[in-house]
Structure 1
Amino acid sequence: MELCTVSPDEEVDLELLRTRMKPLVESHPSVAYIYIVLMSGALIVGTGGNFLILTVIGAMRNLQRTGKVFIINMALADLCVAAVADPMCVLAVIKGEGWFDDKRWLCEGVASMCLTACFCAFLSLSLASFNRYVFICHHNIYDKIFTTKSCICLCISAWVGAFFFEVPNFFGWGGHYFDAKSHQCIWDRTASLSYTMFVSLVLIFSPLFLMLICYILIFRHIYVIKLNLHQFQDKDTDPKRMRKTWLETLRTSRMLLGIFVVFLVCWTPYAIVIIFDFYKKLSTEMHLFVTMLAHFHSSANCIVYTITNRNFRTGVMRRFGCGSCGRASLSSESDTKSTEIAKISASRLTNVASSGSNRSNDSTD
């Protein structure tokens, strides 16, 4: 009778298999199925939606001066997440960690690409916000700052900078691995607390803070312009007139507000969890939820554009051959309003001021 012997290498392999977690579909099937359905929907919407952003906004002729190139750059980054990273998340939930044992290069490559694309989306969104702020609030210097060459250089710099911020994961300040909590190939948030804080505070909350400041200043500027125009046309300060001015300001700023709210909702929970759960005490469900919510951001911008931009909706319908949609001008409604506000912000207010000074001079005489 022959005895079965096991070599040391085989013992190591068996021990490794015993320590491997089961795929999520086996350990938590109900959670896994919900995750698969939601993430599959996100990757379909994100892939198709960002492709539509590239084709429809790329065809809009009047958007160059209001940062079309930054929107396209952000759509490219979101497309990388939706079309590549999201399918790998679904595959990881089904296959589990063991499937990547002989594919470490794939796991590290997907994790690196996903984080780089997310960083690039953050930087592109910050550039788009600052671009819109300068265009509306400082229209007279816009052409000096945002030339075609400078915008292209800024977009390239966003990709270079994003990869620069991701590279430390290859050299010990961070890392790439299969996260047993979120069940996906991702950057190692537990490798270095300093790098985790850098990602959360500098690369997530800083763009959020910059967007908030820019949009508050834009919103205030639009409100003041509309209020002065109404007062110039009608000196009556009826509360109904003030309410009308407020509603008009909201309608003009709705796309900016939508983009900001989506970023806030999708990334704030993740930025908080990666810092306060550095030692992995929260449940698997919590980590699955916050990472999935962060991935949803790459699929949400196209929804914001569709809801808040009438001409973008028309452009999408035309792409699908809807002949009853009418001929779209392919210029953004909100961008057109922003252009009008930027142009009248100097001329109309100057007229208001000069008219007011003339009246005061007349009364003095």
Structure 2
Amino acid sequence: MEEENVKNTTITMATRGMTRTLNSSDSAKSDQSLLDSQLPILYTYITLMIFTSLVGTVGNIVVIVAVVTSKKLRVLQNVFIINLAVADLLVTALVNPFAVIGALDMGKLFYRLPALCEFIATMVVTSCGCSIWSISAVSVNRYIYICHRVIYSKIYNQRTLPFMVIGLWLIAFLLDLPNYLGWGDHIFDTRQLLCNYDYSYNLSYTRYHLIALGVIVPVCVLCYSYFRIFMTFRSSSRRMRQHATNPSSSQKEKPQTADRRVLKTVAIICIVFLVMWTPYSIIVVFDLHYQFWWFLLASFMAFTNSSVNFLVYAIDRNFRQAYSDIWKRIVSRCDCLVTKSDAIVTTGRKKTGSDVNDEITESSGNTNVAFESSMTSNVTSNYL
């Protein structure tokens, strides 16, 4: 009976999306029928979260392997791609699985282990923040490469890139630091079914620090970089039309094909990012917590951004080729394992009667040949 009361209490937490402490079972009975009607939505959320976690984890690992193993991708600027993949991997391989656990047991694990909840909440803010800022860093890198190519090597080189990567993680950590200093707080958020920062604990922290520094600023940087790249290409196209009568001049003004691919990739990254994070930002900034399922959907979309970034890179031909090479190596390795397995099965199969007769015949033939060879050798020796 007591266990049933606890179960009803946790159901109330999930249904209302507003309660931070356990309520009595009496208040849960009125919401039982509502939750029963919405269980398919919860199960769908869990299924999708598991699927995106698996796909995102494999995809981000493939991105890291592709950059490390491909000669065309093993360049300095792709350090930001690896950093983005690592941040996304933390989301897909660590944060999302705990989101599934939170949805399955309605946070009972995290109530028993508050230290684990603190750790997961820190990883949520830090990894998502670093992912967003890494996307922004990629766009800035491409902007300087295309629009200010003369100074590019002075800004991005082997000495400066490590400090830039460390700076991205430092910014991400500063996003969560106020939660340890009393400005914010970490809780098991029943609206997301996950340990996260408590956005309603102090709205000034949420609006003016976390969302401003963690979403709005990198989005502005991303949009500005894309806009400047776009204007550079537009200006180049205009100069091409003005010098159409001079082939040599127009050739100089013609943007490189690789730069056009960069423009397309940055544009799609910007669009995907805005689509995934805008609903969550609006709900948090305006404190629209009255609808539990809408909040859960917005959170799911924000976390899914870490699972689809590797697909955006496939727009680039070099990444597609690297993905293809990795797949071919995996298939080749599997074929080798199958071949070895078949060989073991063939050599290790049970001998039949015909196999024994063949071996006796072969053995007898070898014995006769050896005997004849020995006799010939003796005769020759005696003759000599």
- Tell me which interval the TM-score lies in, with the shorter structure as reference length: 0.7 to 0.9
Counterparts of 2:8 and 2:50, CA distance in 1: 30
Counterparts of 2:89 and 2:95, CA distance in 1: 9
Q: Counterparts in 2 of 1:120-199, with a 5 A limit?
A: 120-197=130-207, 198-199=209-210
What residue number does 2:62 align with? 52
Check the 8 A contact 1:52/1:316 in 2, yes or no.
yes
What residue number does 2:234 align with? 223
What is the CA distance between 1:66 and its match in structure 2?
Answer: 6.3
Deviation per CA, 1:118-152, whole angstroms, max 9, x where unpaired? 11112222222111111110000111111112111
Q: Does 1:290 align with 2:301?
A: no
Counterparts of 2:4 and 2:51, CA distance in 1: 37
What is the CA distance between 1:22 and its match in structure 2?
Answer: 5.3
What is the CA distance between 1:284 and its match in structure 2?
Answer: 1.1
What residue number does 2:89 align with? 79
Alignment CA distance shift 1:302-1:180 (3 Å): same
Check the 8 A contact 2:49/2:96 in 1, yes or no.
yes
Counterparts of 1:323 and 1:56, CA distance in 2: 13
Q: Kindly provide the amino acid, as one letter, of the partner of residue 292 in structure 1.
A: F
What residue number does 1:42 align with? 52
What is the CA distance between 1:323 and its match in structure 2?
Answer: 10
What residue number does 2:355 align with? none
Counterparts of 2:119 and 2:149, CA distance in 1: 42
Alignment CA distance shift 1:51-1:102 (3 Å): same
* Mean CA deviation greater in 226-235 or 34-43: 226-235
RMSD of the TM alignment (CA)?
3.0
SS at match of 2:182: coil
Q: Kindly provide the amino acid, as one letter, of the partner of residue 297 in structure 1.
A: N
Check the 8 A contact 2:76/2:158 in 1, yes or no.
no
What is the CA distance between 1:24 and its match in structure 2?
Answer: 5.6
What is the CA distance between 1:89 and its match in structure 2?
Answer: 0.8
Counterparts of 2:188 and 2:122, CA distance in 1: 12
What residue number does 1:353 align with? none
Structure 1 runs not aligned, ≥5 long: 1-9, 237-243, 325-365
Counterparts of 1:57 and 1:149, CA distance in 2: 20
Counterparts of 1:14 and 1:30, CA distance in 2: 21
Check the 8 A contact 2:68/2:74 in 1, yes or no.
no
Check the 8 A contact 2:126/2:172 in 1, yes or no.
yes
Select which of 311, 314, 330 maps to 2:318.
Answer: 311
Alignment CA distance shift 1:228-1:200 (3 Å): same
What is the CA distance between 1:251 and its match in structure 2?
Answer: 5.3
What residue number does 1:331 align with? none
What residue number does 2:365 align with? none
- Equivalent pairs counted in the alignment come to 303
Q: Kindly provide the amino acid, as one letter, of the partner of residue 223 in structure 1.
A: R
Whose RCO is larger (CA < 8 A, sep 6+)?
1
What is the CA distance between 1:105 and its match in structure 2?
Answer: 1.4
Check the 8 A contact 1:21/1:97 in 2, yes or no.
no
What is the CA distance between 1:161 and its match in structure 2?
Answer: 2.1
Select which of 296, 301, 310 maps to 1:302.
Answer: 310
Check the 8 A contact 1:176/1:187 in 2, yes or no.
yes
Q: TM-score, normalised by structure 1?
A: 0.75
What residue number does 2:218 align with? 207
Check the 8 A contact 2:187/2:198 in 1, yes or no.
yes
What residue number does 1:118 align with? 128
Between structure 1 and structure 2, the one with the greater Rg is: 2
Q: TM-score, normalised by structure 2?
A: 0.72
What is the CA distance between 1:286 and its match in structure 2?
Answer: 0.4
Counterparts of 2:302 and 2:146, CA distance in 1: 30
What is the CA distance between 1:270 and its match in structure 2?
Answer: 0.8
Q: Kindly provide the amino acid, as one letter, of the partner of residue 169 in structure 1.
A: N
Q: Does 1:321 align with 2:328?
A: yes
Structure 2 runs not aligned, ≥5 long: 16-31, 248-253, 332-384
Identity of aligned residues (%): 32
Check the 8 A contact 2:56/2:307 in 1, yes or no.
yes
* Mean CA deviation greater in 162-171 or 247-256: 247-256
Q: Kindly provide the amino acid, as one letter, of the partner of residue 94 in structure 1.
A: L
Check the 8 A contact 1:24/1:94 in 2, yes or no.
no
What is the CA distance between 1:162 and its match in structure 2?
Answer: 1.1
Check the 8 A contact 1:177/1:186 in 2, yes or no.
yes
Deviation per CA, 1:62-108, whole angstroms, max 9, x where unpaired? 45666211111111000000000011111111111223221111122
Counterparts of 2:270 and 2:70, CA distance in 1: 23
SS at match of 2:328: coil
